[in-house]
Amino acid sequence: MTFNYLHLVGNAELIKQLNYAMIYRLVVQQAPVSRIQLAEISQLAPASITKITRQLLKKNLIKEVDAQQSTGGRPAVSIQAKFGYYQTIAIQLSRSHVTIELYDFGANSLVSEVYPLTLFTQQSAEEYLIALIDQFIEQNNKKVKHLVAISVVLPGLIDSVRGIIRYTPHIQVKAWPLADVLREKFKVSIFIGNDIQSLALAESYFGSTQDVDDSILIRVHRGVGSGVIVNQQLLTNHNQSACEVGHIQIDALGERCHCGNFGCLENRVVNKAIELRAKQMIEQGYPTKLCLDDCNIANICKYANQGDELAIKLVKDAGENLGRAVAMMVNIFNPQRIVLAGELTKSPDVLLNAVNSALNAQSLEELRNNLTINCSSLNDRSAIGAFALVQQALFNGSLLMTLLETI
């Protein structure tokens, strides 16, 4: 029998990472909390708690605060997270613009800038992005004191483990190793992810699904994207993707989709499809306050809220189609909460009523008894999803270990 020393060392390092991650997460979520309470909750030995908290204090990740009230004896010192010491840059690379925001570890956006995106080849987009980050850091150098991570999210097929962009609908890419490029240039930790999956993760950390373990986010914009959270973890597969909800067939006799199928959800509920249908119905003589010149999704939702019959019909039809897809996902995943995002949610009452109507007709009653559906509480056009990837790395310990070892 051979003694596998490297295997034991690897296990020891993983256990260390998980223990540090557990304590940091407990401090973030339950602060103020004492070392005694941390030991009781985590089931780690008091000596281990002392060692971990000492290192986290040394690296400015946590801080001691006023002592808790004591019933006798030496008062217990409370601990809470120290959010303001480190900064991260979070970037959303959408089809038309680049949003760059500076965050502290408390998910507070310190600076936000939006730039147009008009360069759609891998090389030109890469050079432009690097120039924007350089400019952003230079313009905000007084606030960027301890930059430890840059995170980028964008639509498409993203290998977040390797930091490679396999496909994105608006930039011509060929296995774009964006993480390696940014890491070499800026010498910090780099995170790359899918924008909608990352937004689902952000909802679970900072939004309306913090209090549940299992949830699904669906965002309707130019396309339909989704992210699934199971046991507070983002669901991905071997291809770093999961649940392509936009191409669920909801009408077998519907129009052909760019994917080759007929009657895809995406063809019926995206902003462009709703706006086109609105114009067609106005031209057919439907009475409405909407005009052909300003027939956009924002006005459709606004007039739906004001009782305009055509606008209500457009939002209701989209909601019912969306509800059919939601019903399928409920039957498969049995989530505790569904969160909807995108401009269509600006008419929440009409939308949610329509979604629930379709859901009730097409899903198992036992699976929807404890289900709630609501609209996103986050700004889905911000870079909060990108910051969620940093939070994930703090909570799983990978970024914590990097900070403890290098700074």
pLDDT in tens, 169-180: 889 999 999 999
In tens, the pLDDT along 57-84 reads 999 999 999 765 555 556 668 999 999 9
Position 200 confidence tier, pLDDT thresholds 50, 70, 90: very high
- Complete edge-to-edge strand list for the sheet that includes strand 97-104: 109-116, 97-104, 87-93, 147-154, 189-194
d(CA 385, CA 379): 10
HSE-up of residue 44 (Cα within 13 Å, Cβ side): 23
Q: Residue 6 pLDDT more than 70?
A: no
Position 238 confidence tier, pLDDT thresholds 50, 70, 90: low
Position 8 confidence tier, pLDDT thresholds 50, 70, 90: very low
pLDDT of residue 243: 61
d(CA 212, CA 268): 30
Q: Where are the domains of the chain?
A: 5-81, 87-200+383-406, 212-375
Q: Residue 242 pLDDT more than 70?
A: no
Q: What class, spelled out in words, does domain 87-200+383-406 have in CATH?
A: alpha beta
d(CA 407, CA 404): 6
d(CA 132, CA 328): 42
In tens, the pLDDT along 376-389 reads 989 877 899 999 99
**349-367: average pLDDT:** 92
pLDDT of residue 1: 42
d(CA 370, CA 363): 13
Q: Which CATH topology does 5-81 take?
A: Arc Repressor Mutant, subunit A (1.10.10)
User: Given CA atoms 382, 267, 335, 390 in this order, what sign does their dihedral have?
Assistant: negative
Q: Which of the residue ranges 22-26, 87-91, 257-261 would you say has the lowest mean pLDDT?
A: 257-261
In tens, the pLDDT along 279-334 reads 999 999 999 999 998 899 999 999 999 999 999 999 999 999 999 999 989 999 99
Estimate the crossing angle of helix 398-406 against helix 384-395, to 10 degrees. 80
Q: Residue 93 pLDDT more than 80?
A: yes
- Contacts of residues 163-168 at CB distance under 8 Å and 24 or more positions apart, as own/partner, are 163/190, 163/191, 163/192, 164/192, 165/192, 168/93
In the predicted model, what is the mean pLDDT of the chain? 90
Residues β-bridged to residue 159: 164
Percentage of the chain beyond pLDDT 90 is: 74
Query: Radius of gyration of the chain from Cα atoms?
Result: 24
In tens, the pLDDT along 31-66 reads 999 999 999 999 999 999 999 999 999 999 999 997
Q: Which of the residue ranges 117-121, 245-249, 270-274 would you say has the lowest mean pLDDT?
A: 245-249
Q: Which amino acid is at 356?
A: N
Give the distance between the most distant pair of CA atoms in the chain. Answer: 84
Q: Residue 248 pLDDT more than 90?
A: no
pLDDT of residue 262: 72
Under 8 Å between Cβ of 62 and 38? no
Under 8 Å between Cβ of 114 and 94? no
Q: Which residue has the tokens 């909800």?
A: 245
Neighbours of 333 (CB within 10 A): 18
If you count DSSP H runs as helices and E runs as strands, how many of each does the chain have, helices first? 14, 15
The reply to whether 212-375 shares the fold of 87-200+383-406 is: yes
Q: Is the pTM of this model over 0.95?
A: no
Q: Residue 97 pLDDT more than 50?
A: yes
Under 8 Å between Cβ of 76 and 33? no
Is omega for the bond preceding 32 within 30 degrees of 0, making it cis?
A: yes
pLDDT of residue 264: 78
| φ/ψ of residue 212, rounded to 5 | -130, 160
Sorted by sequence, the CB contacts under 8 Å of residue 399 that are 6+ apart come out as: 148, 149, 189, 390, 393
- Rounded to the nearest 5 percent, the helix, strand and coil shares of the chain are 45, 20, 30
pLDDT of residue 368: 86
Per-residue HEC secondary structure of 9-66 comes to HHHHHHHHHHHHHHHHHHHHHHCCEEHHHHHHHHCCCHHHHHHHHHHHHHCCCEEEEC
- Complete edge-to-edge strand list for the sheet that includes strand 62-65: 33-34, 78-81, 62-65
Q: What is the end-to-end Cα distance of the chain in Å, rounded?
A: 41
For the domain bounded by 212-375, which CATH number is listed?
3.30.420.40
Under 8 Å between Cβ of 255 and 292? no
d(CA 347, CA 302): 7
